[in-house]
Structure 1
């Protein structure tokens, strides 16, 4: 879905909102506040769903690749992402319960490129990483208009249960239980019916 964003005003995620969730805290403490990524929300609406575009320029946050802040969904909502250009890594984690986010029962990642489609299952917290040092990531998503994001659990845990750094995947030691990360493949076709996103 091609859209002209020139006359659209994005929400901007700044470093000051992200310092707590970064791996390289020495860098985070000293780095000047700066723009990290751009969110164009509600560009299209269809059958109770909202279409957004997010642009993540390449950047190193100290030793860690730039990423979204990360959140869980309040309620039983999934989400679909489509990579429009660049490359992305989607990290998904499921807490052992809605009252204990320190223990993770499942964590996996999907590496995706242009044209790839990734479904975020209901109940999973997720972050998106731009693993490139020179290409911006442009991605779209479909999500229910009723879906609200909860950033608090990941913020309180200083990030997701894994960080993607110059040395690869690094466990976040603040979590008390973290299984080994595994990898899945993206899809190349959109689901014919997106009604499941409203459940």
Structure 2
């Protein structure tokens, strides 16, 4: 995957105010600067074979008791999303929900060059668990629609990641035990030519 020079590009910016509904530490949120920039999204940097290439930059900021993360969403369509870590380390938290019940949840810890494939219809959040900037890239169907409401309505994904470990989100019922999967060491063959 390409690592574009982002200096002269205008990103979509997520701030504390944008993330309010999905934050674990509500006390911290009350006093946090709502305009603090948490991460940048550079969408549509390249398109090929009906796929869109994006880069996300997640800053090494603590959200009170929680590590910085993306807001989280679920793909409405049945396509996959392939993510690769360009710089830093990431934890990808994936959850599959059916009829308001989480059927499966797992985390993939990945470092530079490693890949996480988001299966169709899974919700996912990307977490920066370090004190260094995280930069990830992804290929996704350019017509993919994201649904944010489900995760927002429950104030986040079914787990939060803190320096003391994983905390279940009490707004979900019957959360499965969190499992861990290994990242892929390289891009799938069908993307290696892009």
**Equivalent residue for 1:6?**
7
SS of the residue 2:190 aligns to: coil
**Distance in 1 between residues matched to 2:169 and 2:10, nearest whole Å:** 34
**Equivalent residue for 2:20?**
19
Q: Residue 82 of structure 1: CA displacement?
A: 0.6
Counterparts of residues 51-130 of structure 1 (less than 5 Å): 51-97=53-99, 100=100, 103-130=101-128
Q: Residue 2 of structure 1: CA displacement?
A: 2.8
**Equivalent residue for 2:147?**
150
SS of the residue 1:18 aligns to: helix
SS of the residue 1:69 aligns to: coil
2:170 counterpart (168, 173, 195): 173
| Contact 2:115 2:183 (C-alpha < 8 Å) held by counterparts | yes
1:107-131 Cα deviation digits (max 9, x unpaired): 0000000000110000110000000
**Equivalent residue for 2:157?**
160
**Equivalent residue for 1:48?**
50
Give me the TM-score of the superposition, normalised by structure 1: 0.93
**Distance in 1 between residues matched to 2:32 and 2:6, nearest whole Å:** 29
Give me the TM-score of the superposition, normalised by structure 2: 0.95
**What stretches of structure 1 of length at least 5 have no aligned partner?**
195-199
SS of the residue 2:184 aligns to: coil
Aligned length: 189
SS of the residue 1:76 aligns to: coil
Q: Residue 104 of structure 1: CA displacement?
A: 0.5
| Contact 1:19 1:29 (C-alpha < 8 Å) held by counterparts | no
| Contact 1:85 1:137 (C-alpha < 8 Å) held by counterparts | yes
Q: How large is the RMSD of aligned CA atoms in angstroms?
A: 0.9
